[in-house]
Amino acid sequence: MRLAAPQADAGVFVTASLAITFPFNLTFGIVLYTACTLWLW
């Protein structure tokens, strides 16, 4: 990313990706992972 946009701040992209994925994993991810584990077990 730094080559494509030298003025870009990498911290913004890391924070934005965590802000999107962390709530998803808390609300849906744990339930889906548990259901998949129980189904495979």
At 2, the pLDDT band (50, 70, 90 cuts) reads: low
Do 15 and 9 contact (CB within 8 A), yes or no?
no
Identify the three-state secondary structure at position 6.
coil
Write the pLDDT tens digit of every residue in 10-35. Answer: 777 788 888 888 998 899 999 999 99
Do 10 and 1 contact (CB within 8 A), yes or no?
yes
At 3, the pLDDT band (50, 70, 90 cuts) reads: low
- Residue with the larger pLDDT of the pair 8 and 22: 22
Alpha-carbon gap, residue 33 to 25, rounded angstroms: 9
